[in-house]
Structure 1
């Protein structure tokens, strides 16, 4: 498809997954790394180079065989990249890699471009007393970090008290250090950003969960994060990456503070662990996007959307050399799990050996499916199950049933029974269109940011509830006209069915909440095969019941049958 060749400094798992994307487009990727590196294992040609990506001569050799050179790790010799940039395109730009590989320089650069980051202080060449001055300024704890060669928590140290300073300095030796004020965050989030010649695009915001400073889980979409906050994270990530030169995919890790403000924590100038979910959950993966960006190939923005919720679980090496294989074998039992093993040989504790991505129509369904795998990973590490893993989780609702008054509850009982029978999680709220219009508006506007996919609204009399709800949400709304004291519910029926153009309400018969529930289930079943199957089984049960009644009527006759019915 494209005759240009791509050279990659580094042949680990990121390079391996980049090659998987390149192979589908028939684009040749030449890897510079040790013989038998994970990326080389799945690419059969003679243009790979055995050696170190920090060796100048090997980098020059790679440049001669390629049209574009990129990296799968930022800890490279940027002076060598500057040298070869006169002969080959380097993406992202060597200046960007030079800034980002020094984490303190990265923070200072971002601050200079108006990007919010945690306050930091340069400690290179400082005395022990000057280290202690930081504690007096920032308070304890604070983070002590290596400027360079730091990843997956290596190079980070939490200074909890003044007495820790001496030991921390000895731990780092002569490495250049800086201190960072402690960020009291409630969650870590991340955004994969795609920088092209035409602008900056983003994948969705995700939640990342770290353990021992290594990313363990990624939730897409993030849990308990509003659409507004997720959007702000994307805009902050775009602002940060727009400040740098060059093209490609960048991972932007952020702290979401308890007051809902965001700070950029770190930037990776390459595909990133927090973006693995895109392989199964998005039309284009982060590797597809990186390849297209550095080669100036089209990237439709809609290709970066989330097709369905996903959870990524890292398979970290356990105590046994085959620990990762055991996890992968267990994952084979999970119908929605995609397994990625990296070809690294025997496991070592904490080493990234692979990852698993579980996709499902809802995040709660993905959580249920991934939990046994999380437990298995924890068990290999000898970690006891905590409260989050052992207590039964309440499922996020897919259907919201709202009513204008609690007097509508008896009419809605059949609706609730159907939803429970078909295992559809739902929530019920009282939101009067006339007595609590502000609450109805707030509920309706925010419903689309939650797990809810369908709204059922029951009301009698003027029955404006479902119509007003429909005007404030993009979710489908089903109206249940309730028979009130006067007019036998016909007034409610007319009110719901006579909605103006542009504001649809799917209205069922008077007091027929059963059909409202079944219509909601059919809407959910359009994108969830499990829901559709449960509905099919239920419908078959109805058919069997009717056929049984037909047989009884034929055998007993109408008079005996009526007596059996008590009529």
Structure 2
């Protein structure tokens, strides 16, 4: 590249390291202000780095003088220092933005003033323990007690679950500037990486984040069990939130998906973020390259922020031995779709972020299957292995088998055995179109927000079950007509096949749950090569069995063969 501008970076941890890895490919020099041997400096050899603290005014001034643009790896910086040097160097994002965001209460108030949905909060600074008790009266329990500043990865937060915990909460955080938030009863945590450029605000895809001990453990892209419309709303909310701040660069927007489907912004990071690590492998342009392009006004095509294929990111957190992260990284080498990033931090400590692994695959289900052994190993390294009486985690169902009455279960048994034989996870439920219509409607409408991809519905008589289900879901529905006492199941067959235009039900023969199961497997196999291979092997087994019988008939003759069948 012809661009010779230099980027100054306050902080040289793992985020800085990955930023430099992106900068190296673009031939952009990044000058890091941090201690000698910091993770970012380990992958960049030039004489522009500055040894020292990013809280040292003189060091910050030297960095500014040696750079064309100054940016941050962490928001907990002295914004007054950045304000002082902003006259001689561009600071991105703006020091004003950093000043607001680093104070979480000020951040929430700023977002609220711009019409961005956030949890209700109240300032507690100077109010002592009595203030905490008043919050309990006003908000009820539980509520979140938070430090306004210097809070990270759960440090500086306390869940106050009852009036009896107020004293413990104040003892833990009482020496900090505090505020409280009304408890958000969320179903899931989502995140969106946002890029603010000179031309506008762009977003990466919405992802699901899973936290453990208040630290991000997993990121799923795309999120599991979330409608596309909800993911799109999350992107719109993230754009609106970042539109309220000055400056350019990448921002991480964490939010809650509440049980009623609404969204609240939880926190904003004015920098690349843990929830965006997946972009390195899963997107044409990573969050780190996007940040560099944004702050240097380089071209940034929106199509470069798309998801190439599904991905799961697993943080490698320090375990119970100093080399726990090395063992996880070595294990990851056995998996073809796993990309490992170690941060160069030396020995592991419990809970310390030592690296991450990203697995990409054609489907999220395939990525989940590949990454699960690594999740298990990380848990084992943290001392969270299964106990002797604990069962392993069941796989989430891909097929739902529903019936109007348990009397239909014997008919469904052959199909369920096929699903078991082909290792297709499934769930079996009883829901009647006539006796429990509300439950059927709830199940059908919510199915697409789960891991379920196909629904098999068995019913006899009027057999409205699969048809009603199909009218409430976009998932494929397969009907199994059940032979009843009267009309031999023909009425059920006609009922399922005579669905009105626009409401299809794929109907198999009377009592033929085997074909229903095999059709469900074929539907799944259209997007999953592993499923196709298992089905192909099963079909070869059928072929071998037919050929075996043919040989036996030829050798024994029909009379002997028939006698064998009669035994």
Q: Report if aligned partners of 1:111, 1:117 keep a CA contact under 8 Å in 2.
A: no
Structure 2 counterparts to residues 10-29 of structure 1, below 5 A: 10-23=11-24, 29=30
Higher deviation after alignment, 514-523 or 248-257: 248-257
Q: Report if aligned partners of 2:318, 2:382 keep a CA contact under 8 Å in 1.
A: no
Structure 2 counterparts to residues 145-544 of structure 1, below 5 A: 145-156=146-157, 172=175, 177-181=177-181, 183=183, 185=185, 189-196=189-196, 197-201=199-203, 203-211=205-213, 213-218=214-219, 236-254=237-255, 264-280=265-281, 285-294=286-295, 295=297, 297-300=299-302, 303-305=305-307, 307-308=309-310, 310=312, 312-318=313-319, 320-333=321-334, 337-358=338-359, 361-362=364-365, 365=369, 368-379=372-383, 390-404=390-404, 406=406, 408-431=408-431, 439-459=439-459, 465-482=465-482, 485-486=486-487, 489=490, 492=493, 496=497, 500=501, 503-544=503-544
Question: How much does 1:272 deviate?
Answer: 1.7
TM-score (norm 2): 0.80
Shift in alpha-carbon separation, 1:166–1:410, aligned structure 2, 3 A: closer
Q: Report if aligned partners of 2:194, 2:253 keep a CA contact under 8 Å in 1.
A: no
Higher deviation after alignment, 190-199 or 295-304: 295-304
Q: Report if aligned partners of 2:496, 2:507 keep a CA contact under 8 Å in 1.
A: no
- 1:280-322 per-residue CA deviation (whole Å, 9 max, x = no partner) reads 5566543354345444534537944594363x44323345432
Q: 1:548 maps to what in 2?
A: 548
Shift in alpha-carbon separation, 1:78–1:231, aligned structure 2, 3 A: same
Question: How much does 1:185 deviate?
Answer: 4.9
Q: 1:37 maps to what in 2?
A: 38
Counterparts of 2:317 and 2:333, CA distance in 1: 17
Counterparts of 2:253 and 2:289, CA distance in 1: 18
Counterparts of 2:531 and 2:23, CA distance in 1: 37
- 1:75-132 per-residue CA deviation (whole Å, 9 max, x = no partner) reads 2343443455456543322211111122332233233334423423252xx4xxx413
Q: Unmatched 5+ residue regions in structure 1?
A: none
Counterparts of 1:433 and 1:296, CA distance in 2: 58
Shift in alpha-carbon separation, 1:135–1:458, aligned structure 2, 3 A: closer
- 1:58-87 per-residue CA deviation (whole Å, 9 max, x = no partner) reads 545555665544321112343443455456
Counterparts of 1:373 and 1:90, CA distance in 2: 42
- 1:3-43 per-residue CA deviation (whole Å, 9 max, x = no partner) reads 36462332211122233444555655444434433223334
Shift in alpha-carbon separation, 1:538–1:254, aligned structure 2, 3 A: same
Shift in alpha-carbon separation, 1:444–1:145, aligned structure 2, 3 A: closer
Shift in alpha-carbon separation, 1:550–1:118, aligned structure 2, 3 A: same
Counterparts of 1:39 and 1:104, CA distance in 2: 31
Shift in alpha-carbon separation, 1:556–1:489, aligned structure 2, 3 A: same
Q: 2:133 maps to what in 1?
A: 136
Counterparts of 2:331 and 2:276, CA distance in 1: 23
Counterparts of 1:306 and 1:134, CA distance in 2: 49
Counterparts of 1:476 and 1:419, CA distance in 2: 17
Counterparts of 2:101 and 2:30, CA distance in 1: 24
The RMSD of aligned alpha carbons is 4.1
Shift in alpha-carbon separation, 1:553–1:207, aligned structure 2, 3 A: same
Q: Unmatched 5+ residue regions in structure 2?
A: none
TM-score (norm 1): 0.80
Higher deviation after alignment, 178-187 or 523-532: 178-187
Question: How much does 1:384 deviate?
Answer: 7.6
- 1:353-389 per-residue CA deviation (whole Å, 9 max, x = no partner) reads 112345673387468434422332322xxx68679x9
Q: Secondary structure of the residue that 2:76 maps to in structure 1?
A: coil
Count residues in correspondence.
Answer: 551
Higher deviation after alignment, 258-267 or 344-353: 258-267
